[in-house]
Amino acid sequence: MSAPSQLSHPEAPVIPVPQVAAARTEPSHIPPPNFGSRRFKADPFAYYARLRAEAPVYPMMLFGKQKGWLVTRYDDVAAVLKHPLLGKDRFINLTEAERAKLPWFFRYFQPLMQNMLERDPPDHTRLRGLVHKAFTPALVEKLRARVEQVTDQLLDAAAKKRSRSMDLVMDYALPLPVTIIADMLGIPERDRTRFHRWSTKVISNTNMLETLLTIPAILGFTRYIRKLVQKRRASPGDDLLTALIQAEEAGDRLSQEELVSMVFLILVAGHETTVNLIANGILALLQHPDQLERLRKDPGLIGPAVEELLRFTCPVEIATMRVAREDFELGGSKIQRGDYVAAVVASANRDEQAFPNADTLDLGRDPNRHLGFGLGIHYCLGAPLARLEGTIAIQKVLQRLPDLRLATSAEKLRWRTGFVIRGMKKLPVAF
């Protein structure tokens, strides 16, 4: 929630990034990354290590003609996340003629681009101010009992299975954050799996065809949100959605389109990356039994353990795009006005110059200045909630399922494709 969120992670995705290809200026000996490959998504770290060593600011083409850059070294990634010449509004530099040449399907994405993640100050500051109070550490701590209740209910249901097995993603890691963020927004329980299906479609695209196939999900998602807003206007509740509606009705603080887009962002960001923190984190522990045993023997280590799992497993692989407002230089490369810049958080968090033994899982790592929650004005608003959910979910699994183990080989795990998120479709476990 830096996802998980602007709310699970500040870099939770809104607009998919289509097919990438090496730029003409790129050294031909390094092929472009294949974000549509499950094999690549399972272990991208060797590729990123090569980029850090040989092409730390790597040119690529988006939409077949838009110049972009993958930034992979820790210091450069940190600079990108808070660089004054990089903005989030992708269209701010376009002339009217250039806007007219945008692909026709962009209009379908417009309703989703009016939230704080896609805006720069002063709009970003205004929009963030409307929701930040719901995610302060003090208010998030009040959710602890509810998070513990939901995790216990999910584990109780798993324990009743005769097979003594479950899909840790669909049976545990997903329903927990979905339930909590839906509670906060006042979404009926019967609807809670629908928006995960929609968000999966929106964030998993890696080429033009998949982008086009996303449009029905976008239409369904926005139609659902508009109906939900209409219902809440007629029947206000004690929830975050009602608070946002009241802010919109108050005048110039929130427009109707901003309201729909903000609800979309909260729903997606509020669960997508937390799902992957929990599932990826548990997988990493199962694959590193020495660290698993270390945490079992010392439960007080859970705080730094969650931070290390965020660093090591990278639930958010790449921050959402920035666009250059002016020409400038980064890592020896000349970034031009209008270029897209992608900060590869997964690479920065494995940079040997920033983390000793960076490819080693060390639950007691200190210091641990990982970039899993981002930096700067887009720092993860929902970091306290992500930490709470991750901490409780991992703690309770270790306490209640002492014989937890993988029910398949690591090679058979199916990883989700896409540019931003890194996580599994399923994680079969036995206990």
Q: Give the CATH number for residue 199.
A: 1.10.630.10
C-alpha distances in angstroms, 220 versus 108, 175, 184, 210?
11, 21, 21, 16
Which pLDDT does position 160 carry in this prediction?
94
Q: What is the mean pLDDT of residues 113-133?
A: 84
Question: Which pLDDT band, with edges at 50, 70 and 90, does 209 fall under?
Answer: low
- Please tell me what DSSP assigns to residue 427: -
- CA dist., res. 215 & res. 102, Å (int): 16
Q: What is the mean pLDDT of residues 139-163?
A: 95
Weakest mean pLDDT among 139-143, 201-205, 225-229, 325-329: 201-205
pLDDT at 21 over 60: no
pLDDT tens by residue, 414-426: 999 988 889 999 9
Phi, psi of 375 (to 5 degrees): -150, 165
- Residue 271 or residue 1, greater confidence: 271
pLDDT at 16 over 60: no
The helix/strand/coil state of 184 is helix
pLDDT tens by residue, 341-364: 999 999 999 999 999 999 999 999
Domain that holds residue 411: 20-430
Which pLDDT does position 136 carry in this prediction?
85
Which pLDDT does position 30 carry in this prediction?
92
- CA dist., res. 135 & res. 6, Å (int): 11
Weakest mean pLDDT among 64-68, 123-127, 277-281, 337-341: 64-68
Question: Which pLDDT band, with edges at 50, 70 and 90, does 286 fall under?
Answer: very high
Question: Which pLDDT band, with edges at 50, 70 and 90, does 11 fall under?
Answer: very low
Which pLDDT does position 105 carry in this prediction?
64
Long-range CB contacts for residues 64-69, cutoff 8 Å, separation at least 24: 64/19, 64/21, 66/340, 67/23, 67/336, 67/338, 67/339, 67/340, 68/20, 68/321, 68/339, 68/340, 68/341, 68/342, 69/330, 69/333, 69/335, 69/339, 69/340, 69/341, 69/342
Q: Across 43-120, where does the E strand assignment appear? A: 57-62, 66-71, 86-87
Which pLDDT does position 150 carry in this prediction?
98
pLDDT at 213 over 80: no
Within-domain flag for 408: yes
pLDDT tens by residue, 164-201: 999 999 999 999 999 999 999 998 888 887 877 787 77
Weakest mean pLDDT among 3-7, 301-305, 320-324, 360-364: 3-7
Q: What is the mean pLDDT of residues 153-160?
A: 96
- CA dist., res. 82 & res. 393, Å (int): 31
pLDDT tens by residue, 369-399: 999 999 999 988 888 999 999 999 999 999 9
pLDDT at 28 over 60: no
Q: What is the mean pLDDT of residues 39-54?
A: 97
pLDDT at 134 over 50: yes
pLDDT at 107 over 70: no
For residue 52, which of 393, 350, 416, 355 has the smallest C-alpha distance?
A: 350
What's the total number of domains in the chain?
A: 1
| Bridge partner residues of 203 (DSSP) | none
* Residues in CB range of 407: below 8 A, 6 or more apart: 165, 428, 429, 430
Q: Could you give the percent of the chain with pLDDT greater than 70?
A: 85
Q: What is the mean pLDDT of residues 207-212?
A: 66
Within-domain flag for 13: no
Q: What is the mean pLDDT of residues 17-42?
A: 73
- CA dist., res. 315 & res. 308, Å (int): 12
pLDDT at 137 over 60: yes
Within-domain flag for 11: no
Within-domain flag for 399: yes
- Residue 25 or residue 111, greater confidence: 111
| Average pLDDT in the chain | 86
- CA dist., res. 36 & res. 200, Å (int): 14
- Residue 105 or residue 318, greater confidence: 318
